[in-house]
Amino acid sequence: MKDTNILIANGVDLNKSLELLGDMAMYDSLLNDYLDAYQDRMKKIDTYKNTNDMPNYAIEVHSLKSDAKYLGFTTLADFSYKHELASKANDINTVNNSYQELLQEANRIYEVIKQYLQKDEVVSESSVTVDSQNQVEKPPQVELITKEQIDLSTKAILIADDSSIIRNFVEEAFSKNYDVIMAKDGKEVLNIISSNPNKIAALLLDLNMPNIDGFQVLEYLKQNNLFEKIPVSIITGAVDKDTIDKAFTYPIVDMLNKPFDMEAVKLVVEKTIAFNND
């Protein structure tokens, strides 16, 4: 049996997470998702830092911040937010000078999760190391979704977010009553929409995504007169007024700020589905 005291003793705000996620079954499921994605995520972060690619670095640490907030990793969320702000300001010195503290906290949490979930991988093979200057590994290429893979027979909810934690959380909320299809970036969203514009009952769209961001998706919908076919609501961690005001220049239905709980996302999605049916 898992011992939640392991999490609490290591600074995880479990009570706050359960307020959002509802129960331990959901929490444990999302912890496993976090663990599975950790290696690839940290390799991307390391690659973008070493190549001074601050726009993509900002996207990755933003996603790390969002997941950390959901899972109660408050210190990691704070460090990630610091790096998000610095990278958005192209402050490479701050990113480099504080990178080790971010990495150490991320690896510490990774080991805490393994201990709690009773995983037995060897630490030296699992944790991402600080010294990666000799060889920079390119992040994996995004695989485009083919028309055959997304040929929907019934209308579906499309969830677009670069965080697997958020995608899986939202999918859990709706999979019993709706077909749910997920996209991890704007490029996948456009593939899905272009193949099935009449079969998306609602699009829940993150603004800050790699490859093609949420605003580019919104512009595509506008240029192709698709808002009447596809009602859109925004999910975002952005709190600045300029970003929010810009989003509402498009005919979106609603906006949901991260982190959100199950009840909040259900209300927004139901409102979005009903929007074009009123």
Position with higher pLDDT, 96 vs 208: 96
In one letter, which amino acid is 69?
K
Same domain assignment for residues 64 and 122: yes
Domain residues for the domain of 245 are 148-275
Place of tokens 């506008």: 222
φ/ψ (deg, to 5) at 98 = -110, 10
278 pLDDT band, cuts 50/70/90, is low
Is 143 among the domain residues? no
Domain count, the chain: 2
C-alpha distances in Å from residue 14, one per residue of 27, 72, 133: 9, 6, 36
pTM score, whole prediction: 0.76
On the question of pLDDT at 271 being above 50, the answer is: yes
* Euclidean distance between CA atoms 112 and 11, whole angstroms: 10
209 pLDDT band, cuts 50/70/90, is confident
Same domain assignment for residues 43 and 101: yes
pLDDT in tens, 129-187: 544 443 433 333 333 333 334 444 457 899 999 888 888 888 888 888 888 889 988 99
Place of tokens 């907030």: 69
pLDDT in tens, 11-38: 999 998 998 888 898 899 889 989 988 9
Contact by Cβ (8 Å): 198, 228: no
* Domain final position from 92, 126, 160: 126
Same domain assignment for residues 10 and 93: yes
pLDDT in tens, 116-143: 998 865 443 344 554 444 343 333 333 3
Mean pLDDT calculated for residue range 62-78: 92
* Euclidean distance between CA atoms 221 and 229, whole angstroms: 9
